[in-house]
Amino acid sequence: MKYFVPNLKLSVDLPPQEKLEDKFGGIPWGLKPEQYPMCRHCGKSQSLLAQFVHNSERLDLGKSGRTLLVFQCNHNPGGCPTWEGGSGANACFVLDPDQLSENLTPMPADFPIIEPEARIIGWLDHDDGIAPDEISAFYDDEQLWDLQDEMRDRVYPQTKLGSVPEWLQSPSEAPGEGWVFIGQLSDSYKFIQEPSPQSNVYVYPSSDYWACEGPNFGDGGIGYIFLRHHSEKPDGWFFWQCS
């Protein structure tokens, strides 16, 4: 199956944002103050994790100009159940173009934590070789663990759009019938090019990339994004697992 990996740059290494873009962290673009999601548990504003724009190939939101936004509460880490889909401690929703403004969203008065902002300057497409008739095995506990290691190892374990999830726990936590996996978020940002020292973010090198810490998904966690399409704009669902 085809999947897409973001080519990231920290926003401090780019010109100021002037239009709707795919990005992680930072302040939302175009979200009106009254649309800002609040945590149902502590009552405070949530933090942006990701904002993605409709693309017919890698992220079909059903209409050009639509945007998908993913948030979670950061005011009480470990207290508000950000890991549970539908808990109200996270939010995942789609907005139509006419629901968006033309600028960055004003910061809420309670000043939620702002995740490091990294904008996506391009997408790298890959194919993991997983066939359409093999997809269902990745959503069933017994079938998943019956797969050969070679098959499970094909699943890309970092941030991506497309293909199937890299489960850290049970696939039974997926939202069920009618929902489609569209991507996952790692708890770190991965860079092809080394960020500049002015970023003030600790960046650690690997053999072929650089990385910095991203959102809090527990210990080595991954966040999962699902959509449910119907006649109106899609519904979103987000949750995370950790190792």
Percent of the chain residues past pLDDT 70, beyond the cut: 100
Q: In the prediction, which pLDDT does 125 show? A: 97
pLDDT over threshold 90, residue 49:
yes
Q: How far apart are CA 100 and CA 49, in angstroms?
A: 18
Read off the pLDDT of residues 54-81 as tens digits, 9 standing for 90 and up. 999 999 999 999 999 999 999 988 899 9
Reported confidence tier of residue 181, pLDDT bands at 50, 70, 90: very high
pLDDT over threshold 90, residue 105:
yes
- For the chain, give the number of residues: 243
Q: In the prediction, which pLDDT does 194 show? A: 87
Choose among 34, 41, 46, 30: nearest CA to 91. Answer: 46
Count CA atoms closer than 13 A to 47's CA, side-chain side.
21
How high does pLDDT run on average in the chain? Answer: 94
Q: In the prediction, which pLDDT does 77 show? A: 85
Q: In the prediction, which pLDDT does 209 show? A: 87
Q: In the prediction, which pLDDT does 122 show? A: 97
Name the 3-class secondary structure at 126: strand
Q: How far apart are CA 41 and CA 143, in angstroms?
A: 36
Q: What Å distances lie between residue 176 and 55, 145, 172, 179, CA to CA?
A: 24, 19, 8, 6
Are 164 and 189 in contact by the 8 Å Cβ rule? The answer is no
Q: In the prediction, which pLDDT does 7 show? A: 97
Read off the pLDDT of residues 18-29 as tens digits, 9 standing for 90 and up. 999 999 999 999
Backbone angles phi, psi at 41, to 5 degrees: -95, -45
Q: In the prediction, which pLDDT does 101 show? A: 95
Which secondary structure element, helix H or strand E, spans residue 90, and what is its range?
strand 90-95
DSSP single-letter state for residue 83: T
Q: What are the structural domain ranges in the chain?
A: 2-241
pTM: 0.96
Domain at 2-241: CATH architecture: Roll (2.30)
Read off the pLDDT of residues 191-212 as tens digits, 9 standing for 90 and up. 998 888 777 677 877 778 899 9
If one counts every other C-beta atom within 10 angstroms of the C-beta of residue 37, the result is 23
pLDDT over threshold 80, residue 127:
yes
Q: In the prediction, which pLDDT does 50 show? A: 98
Q: In the prediction, which pLDDT does 232 show? A: 85
User: Could you tell me which residues come within 8 angstroms of residue 53 by beta carbon, excluding any fewer than 6 positions away?
Assistant: 20, 21, 22, 59, 65, 66, 67, 68
